[in-house]
Structure 1
Amino acid sequence: MLIPGKLSEERVALVTGGARGIGLEIVRRFLADGYQVAFVATTAEHVERALDILGCPDDRVHAERIDVTRHNEVDGFVDRIRARWGEIAILVNNAGISPKRVDQNAPWLSQTSLEEWARVIDVNLTGPFILMRLLAPAMIAKGYGRIINVGSLAGRAMPIIAGPHYAASKAGLVGLTRAAARDLAPHGITVNCIAPGRVLSDLTGPPEAAVNRSALSRIPVGRFGTAEEVAHVAAFLASPMAGFITGATIDITGGEFAA
């Protein structure tokens, strides 16, 4: 059972892929909600740009360039956050890659190299596993934790825009979420997955792009999603109010997928 008096103390969050798109909006929302937020990105330029956008005091936010597939880099980053703020209570696994063809359409199975397959699985599925496995013991010791994995419509339905490696990694993330939820629920830790559909950001290109016009025709609500809408769901799942939700996948697709 959670101890209500402890909840106000659990204010340290870690967001991977937090410098752009959905990740940046989750960081922004967590900061607005009063968390101390650490985030990682793949390049120093992305980190610096995100910090400029956020304009937040150094005592509230910390960011570094980290490869989430490299265990030693992840270990060092977590150690620095613990030394600065204490244990991490909220983990958002948002980092992900989705290689496309030159025309921005999904690569076919026969066009996907083993090297590209391995890299996508490493970032999108092994990276979350590394961080969940690393942070779970401290969450168990404190009897509290929130883990949120950012999946995709491509892992829930027939992938149209994404390639086979991306679809497989995001479907795997749903399975990992359920397995971790089963293991960690007795310790006051929830593990959930968010599965966005077509959400416009600097990563997806302008709405008038051919791939986006095609996607729009499949969305029943008649518009694209926003990164802010995804961040609102993440904020709820990160809160004490979501303590009875675990092992769930929340689809944010404007009705394109419903289960």
Structure 2
Amino acid sequence: MMNINFSGKKVLISGGTHGIGLELSKAFKSLNANVITLGRDESAGRNLEKYDITFKRVDLSKREEVLDFVNWYEKEIGDIHVLINNASRNSRYSILDTSLEEWNYMINLELTSPFLLSQMASKLMIEKGIKGKIINISAIQAHFPLESSFPYVTVKSGLLGMTRSMAVDLGKYGIQVIAVTPGPIYSKSEEPPESLDKRSATLLGRMGRMREIVNVILFLSSDLNTFITGSEVIVDGGRLISRRPDPVEISSGEV
């Protein structure tokens, strides 16, 4: 049986202080990666440092801060093996009431920052001869939109196109680019409330756990993944082909 190990590898994770990003940060570190995590929550980020994880406070919705980080990373770190574009925020607005401010925020957070971080990562990988991995975290709403989620659906759909285009550009350098699309994953704690779990609209009859997304990303980021690129990996318990309605907590954006 082959084991996954990231010894000697540098892994950069955006939005790595909460939810799936936090679990990713700790999981990569447990597999001996050198982990650099980005986020806005200073307290949560400092807490990660007890795991020997490097935290950099960056507001990924502000391109100036992202560019400052890129400059720091290129000078101080200088190479990268895995980039996880995970930072995200839900946005519950329809086309009729989305403000320009909200639109710009979501575009900057979920498209501009992944573009800038991916550009940096791919250039460093090529310069150092590293056949690295770039993983973009989309969402099932890119295929199955909920009502009043216009900005969120737009940016998550954009990440899928970004993934394919990057894969075409970077394949000749041996760099693999993959989108991971979670379905209904409970990210407030490890276990969802039992009543919510039982009402999940997945074919498996429950919500997904954060660890189930983390395990997929660990494999895709590892040396075991040698031939997947430009693909979207949907991890949804069969939600896309289920005819069951979502629980109101999900359709209303509560979870």
- Secondary structure (helix, strand or coil) at the match of 2:179 reads strand
Report whether the alignment pairs 1:92 with 2:90: no
| Native 8 Å contact 1:193 1:248 kept in 2 | yes
CA distance in 2 between partners of 1:31 and 1:182 (Å):
30
The match for 1:41 among 39, 42, 49 is 39
Give the aligned CA root-mean-square deviation in angstroms: 2.6
1:200-211 paired onto structure 2 within 5 Å: 200-202=186-188, 207=193
1:15-34 paired onto structure 2 within 5 Å: 15-34=13-32
How big is the shift at 1:213? 6.9
The residue identity in structure 2 corresponding to 1:88 is I
Report whether the alignment pairs 1:219 with 2:199: no
Q: 1:161 to 1:239 in 2, by over 3 A?
A: farther
CA distance in 1 between partners of 2:118 and 2:28 (Å):
19
CA distance in 1 between partners of 2:147 and 2:86 (Å):
19
- Counterpart position of 1:241: 224
TM-score normalised according to structure 1 size: 0.82
Report whether the alignment pairs 1:149 with 2:139: no
| Native 8 Å contact 1:12 1:90 kept in 2 | yes
How big is the shift at 1:112? 1.6
Ranges in structure 2 where 5+ consecutive residues have no aligned partner: 242-255
CA distance in 2 between partners of 1:241 and 1:182 (Å):
21
Overall identity of the aligned pairs, in % = 33
- Secondary structure (helix, strand or coil) at the match of 1:242 reads coil
- Counterpart position of 2:251: none
Ranges in structure 1 where 5+ consecutive residues have no aligned partner: 1-6, 101-106
| Native 8 Å contact 1:20 1:50 kept in 2 | no
| Native 8 Å contact 2:63 2:112 kept in 1 | no
CA distance in 2 between partners of 1:253 and 1:166 (Å):
18
1:74-85 paired onto structure 2 within 5 Å: 74-82=66-74, 84-85=76-77
How big is the shift at 1:122? 1.4
Q: 1:219 to 1:160 in 2, by over 3 A?
A: same
Q: What do the CA deviations read for 1:163-191 (whole angstroms, capped 9, x no partner)?
A: 11000100010000000000001101000
* Number of positions where the alignment pairs a residue of Structure 1 with one of Structure 2: 236
Q: What do the CA deviations read for 1:178-207 (whole angstroms, capped 9, x no partner)?
A: 00000001101000010001111229x964
TM-score normalised according to structure 2 size: 0.83
- Secondary structure (helix, strand or coil) at the match of 1:147 reads strand
CA distance in 1 between partners of 2:170 and 2:110 (Å):
21
CA distance in 1 between partners of 2:34 and 2:59 (Å):
21
